[in-house]
Amino acid sequence: MNPSHRPVRLTRRKVLGSAVAALAAVAETGPSAQAAPPVAAPVNPDDTYGQMTSGVVTGENITEVLPGIWRIHVGGKSEQVTPLSFRSAPTNASALGLLPPVKTMPLEHHAISWTLSARGISVQLPMTHEERIYGLGLDTEIFDMTDRRAICCPSDTPQDKMNYSHAPVSFYVSNRGYGVYVDTARYAWFYTGNVVPKADAGELAGTAQPALSTAGLYEPTPLHHKTMLVDVHPSRGLDIYIFAGPTLRHAVQRYNLFSGGGAMPPLWGLGIHYRGESMMSDQEIVALARRLRAEKMPCDMWGLEPGWQSRVYPSSFEWDRARFPDPDAFIKTIKSMNYHLNAWEHAFTSPISPLFKPLRPWSGNFLVWGGLTPDFATAEARKIWMNHHDKIMFSKGIDGVKLDECDNQPYRAHPWSFPEASVFPSGLDGELMHTLFGELYQQTMLQPLTRRNLRTWSLVRDTFALAAPLPFTVYSDSYDFNCYLRGVCKQAFSGVMWVPEVRNAESVEELYRRVQLVIFAPMALINCWYMKLPPWLQINRDRSNQGQLMPEHQQATKVVRTLFELRMRLIPYLYAAFNEYRLRGMPPIRPLVMDWPDDVATHTIDDQFMFGPAILVAPVQPGRRRRRVYLPAGHWYDFATHQRMDGGRWITVDAPVERIPMFVKSGSIIPLAEPVPFITAETCFELTVYAFGTPRESITLYEDDGTSLDYQKGRQNTLEITWRNGTGSVARGGNYSGPPRYAFKAFHSV
């Protein structure tokens, strides 16, 4: 645990302290970092329950804990259990020191106030009239979070655009160039500029007009003076962290580095991930895996869905010997075809599982589907869990997991998960556990792989704050194209990775559009958990399960293969972007407003995004053959035609069904690889490098073994590509001495 934060001590419980100590071992494997300096003790006002107390932040409540990051304590005693108690990696303080220096806190401290009441604590932070707020997690129905009420509460279902999601994160950023993190694991409510304190009683005077409809009556009222209200109950005190810019992007970088730096996927994790039908046998999986190889369909990861286990809902965590009579032989066969294996599970433990008896003392007091909920906040539960999974999975060659059902159902009439009133051996209640469960689960599953010096690129159903170092992408059961696209745009605000997926489709055109979006996500996921055939062979679920090929399957296979190969061509470029995420906190995929916060046109664009430092991607909705695209100021090049066009304007482009609109920022260098069907320890990408316009900056590629954690020990090369006088050159340096990852074929000017 970072020494700058108080150790967690729970009355009558000591197990949580041991949990934090155990997690510190995980943190040691994260990005190189040094501890933050100690912070000031909190101010303790009268904390009598039922008595309202108010205060204004003063200088003695504020400590600059790291360059450009301030901690503010408000109210009484801080919460004992927070996300910082269970952080996954230490802060990357050295990288924070490389960001632009900021001397003063971006918010006036005397404009920050708090109120303590019987309900809990609320905090008011200043906003300006035209300020826009982003983040607060990954509700894929909302992009611009300004002037609304949002709750940070894990949920499997969006609720009236209230920010319920699989990744609620109590961190927001402003286009004014600062970020705010509220360190709480309670369900926190944020009113983002749409409440008026009594002190501003004149704010609405004379502004109301008679409404001509019921809808108009309840429309939000424009305000000239805005306030951010944060409401957390039953908390008595909070620690709030302010992240300076100077720009929105820099504030996000500081938050990601404060979290420990971005996750670093293995090279193979950036390839195509295919998940087969849930109840497939080992022979059916091997046959389909061979078919993909015969069709030269790029694929690096194979996902096993629930049918690999003998019992699920709740789970046995044992192989089903009817479908997999010899698991070791099956794993060996799949890996011999150069697939990496990922196995689905959820944590609720069946009475028939060998884990049930040892976990019983270390689980919550309510069952889920008749199974135990392990308390991953205790070292004992984690040890039991890790030892079993290492024995049946990781020691056998499985190097990825899909962690399902670790979310919550706060507004379902018939929720299936544990209630908020639950009690766990660590002392956590059900609300705290729901918030932290996804991250604790990820940390637990990551440790056996870390001990084996292996990277993973896995899936998780729910996560929370400070999750940037965790090598997991968040997914959901939704299948709305616009929500998927909005999630890809929005993920960068909150230090999480988001993955849309492809399953079935209503038309072949819809299939193409969905694949076009997926290949530009952090993980390129084809999830056929309810379909026997891949969607390029049959888009209809029922016909797929009857083994019927669709008439267009040959053409569809050709088009999808070409799109997958585009993903493979971009892997060196994307791998470089993820290294920037790790080292500098720069999100590899981000919305336009993050790079152009002063351009008002970018403030609400939620259907375009930057892929890496230089490529703008504009996915097309199914059913459309043209779309409007906004190009920020400067010159841009069409990726396919190399046509140059002026930015700072909207354009309308043709979008043939087989193609996705992509544009390259002038002055950029883009390395493109010859596509490979999969990535191995010996893969060397043959690169053709393109210079678009007159490059003003170099691009750095990163070369390592692509699989282990040795890059954390400096065993990595950098390849700096520069362009001068119309000629490209490469300078290689570093301490990696393994097989080369890159060979350069040609350099071209565009």
Averaged pLDDT, 132-156? 95
Weakest-pLDDT range from 516-520, 646-650, 726-730: 726-730
**pLDDT for 157:** 80
User: What is the band of 156 on the pLDDT scale with cuts at 50, 70, 90?
Assistant: confident
Mean pLDDT across 537-541: 98
Cα 589 to Cα 605: distance, rounded to the nearest angstrom: 14
Residue 680 lies in a domain: yes
In this model, does residue 710 exceed pLDDT 90? yes
**Mean pLDDT of the chain, nearest integer:** 91
Output the pLDDT for position 160: 66
CB 688 within 8 A of CB 705: no
- Alpha-carbon span 648 to 297, nearest angstrom: 39
Q: Strand, helix or coil at 218?
A: coil
Please tell me whether residues 568 and 686 are part of one structural domain. Answer: no
For the chain, counts of helices (H) and of strands (E): 15, 34
Please state, in angstroms and rounded to a whole number, the distance separating the CA atoms of residues 204 and 190.
Answer: 21
User: Could you give the angle at which helices 379-392 and 430-451 cross, rounded to 10 degrees?
Assistant: 50
Read off the pLDDT of residues 478-489 as tens digits, 9 standing for 90 and up. 999 999 999 999
Average pLDDT over every residue of 540-568: 98
* Confidence at residue 32, expressed as pLDDT on a 0 to 100 scale: 36
Give me the phi and psi of 59, to 5 degrees please. Answer: -60, -30
Secondary element (H or E) of residue 62: strand 62-66
Write the CB contacts of 650 (distance below 8 Å, at least 6 apart in sequence). Answer: 601, 628, 629, 630, 631
Residue 97: pLDDT band by 50, 70, 90 thresholds? very high
Residue where a domain stops, chosen among 579, 612, 642: 579
pLDDT at 35 over 80: no
Q: What is the pLDDT of residue 163?
A: 80
For β-strands 501-502 and 69-75, DSSP reports them as unpaired
Give pLDDT, residue 205: 52
Average pLDDT score over residue span 555-582: 98
- Is residue 75 predicted with pLDDT exceeding 50? yes
Is 407 domain-assigned?
yes
Domain harbouring 171, CATH code: 2.60.40.1760
One domain, residues 412 and 305: yes
Instruction: Indicate the pairing of strand 615-617 with strand 644-646.
Output: unpaired
**What pLDDT score was predicted for residue 51?**
73
**Neighbour-count burial for 66-79, b at 16+ CB within 10 Å, e otherwise:** bbbbbbbbbbbebb
Percent of the residues in the chain that have a pLDDT greater than 70, as a whole number: 90
244-248, 619-623, 726-730, range with the lowest pLDDT: 726-730
**pLDDT of 37 strictly over 50:** no
pLDDT tier, 215 (very low <50, low <70, confident <90, very high otherwise): low
Q: Do both 252 and 279 map to the same domain? A: no
Q: Are residues 231 and 288 in the same domain?
A: no
Residue 195 and residue 322 share a domain: no
Residue 204's pLDDT is what?
57
Q: Quote the distance between the C-alpha of residue 86 and its chain's center.
A: 17
Q: What is the pLDDT of residue 20?
A: 43
> Residue 647 is encoded by which pair of tokens?
């930015």
DSSP 118: S
Q: Are residues 145 and 181 in the same domain?
A: yes
Whether 612 maps to a domain, the answer reads no
Q: Burial level of 12, CB count in 10 A (0-12/13-18/19+)? A: exposed
Share of the chain above pLDDT 90, in %: 85
The answer to whether residue 33 scores a pLDDT higher than 70 is no
CA distance 333 to 412: 43
Q: Residue 585 domain-assigned?
A: no
pLDDT tens digits, 251-278: 999 999 999 999 999 999 999 999 999 9
In a shared domain, residues 66 and 115: yes
What's the CA gap between 339 and 558, in Å, rounded?
Answer: 21
Q: State how many domains the chain has.
A: 3
pLDDT in the model for residue 379:
98
How far apart are the C-alpha atoms of 687 and 421, rounded to whole Å?
57
Query: How many other CB atoms are there within 10 angstroms of residue 11's CB atom?
Result: 6
> What's the pLDDT at 369?
97
Q: Which of 195, 229, 259 is the last residue of a domain?
A: 259
Q: Give residue-wise pLDDT tens across range 455-484.
A: 999 999 999 999 999 999 999 989 999 999
Whether residue 506 is predicted with pLDDT greater than 90 in this model: the reply is yes
Q: Domain boundary residue among 579, 607, 626?
A: 579
Helix (H) or strand (E) holding 107: none
**What is the per-residue pLDDT for 649?**
98
- Give the lowest-confidence range in 8-17, 386-395, 562-571, 581-590: 8-17
Residue 34 confidence (pLDDT) above 60: no
3-class DSSP assignment, residue 422: coil
Question: How many Cβ atoms from other residues are within 10 Å of residue 203's Cβ?
Answer: 15
Asked if residue 511 has pLDDT above 60, the reply is yes
Helix (H) or strand (E) holding 470: none
Assess whether 218 and 302 both reside in one domain: no
- Asked whether residue 96 falls in the same domain as residue 128, the answer is yes
pLDDT range class, residue 411, cuts 50, 70, 90: confident
pLDDT score of 17: 46
- Whether residues 287 and 387 fall in one domain: yes
Total Cβ atoms within 10 A of residue 594: 25
At residue 27, the pLDDT reads 37
Question: How confident is residue 201, by pLDDT bands cut at 50, 70 and 90?
Answer: low
pLDDT of 57 > 90? The answer is yes
Q: Are residues 165 and 304 in the same domain?
A: no
**Half-sphere exposure (CA, 13 Å, Cβ side) for 520?**
29
With cut-offs at 50, 70 and 90, classify the pLDDT of residue 412.
Answer: confident
Rounded (to 5) percent helix, strand, coil in the chain: 25, 25, 50
- Give, for 526, the enclosing helix (H) or strand (E): strand 524-527
Averaged pLDDT for residues 731-743: 96
Q: How far apart are CA 233 and CA 241, in angstroms?
A: 19
Which residues form the domain of 689?
A: 669-749
Same domain? 299 vs 225: no
- Name the DSSP letter for residue 319: B
- What is the reported pLDDT for 38? 36
> Across the strands, what pairs with 304?
343
**Residues contacting residue 255 through CB under 8 Å, at least 6 positions apart:** 171, 173, 179, 181, 243, 468, 495, 585
Distance from CA of residue 34 to its chain's centroid? 24
State the Cα–Cα distance between residues 91 and 256, nearest whole angstrom: 9
Let me know how long the chain is.
750
Q: What's the pLDDT at 210?
A: 61
CATH number of the domain enclosing 389: 3.20.20.80
Per residue in 310-352, pLDDT (tens digit) is 999 999 999 999 999 999 999 999 999 999 999 999 999 999 9
Answer for the pair 690, 672: CB distance below 8 angstroms, yes or no.
yes
Give the pair of three-digit tokens for residue 484.
């998927």
Supply the CATH number for residue 701's domain. Answer: 2.60.40.1180
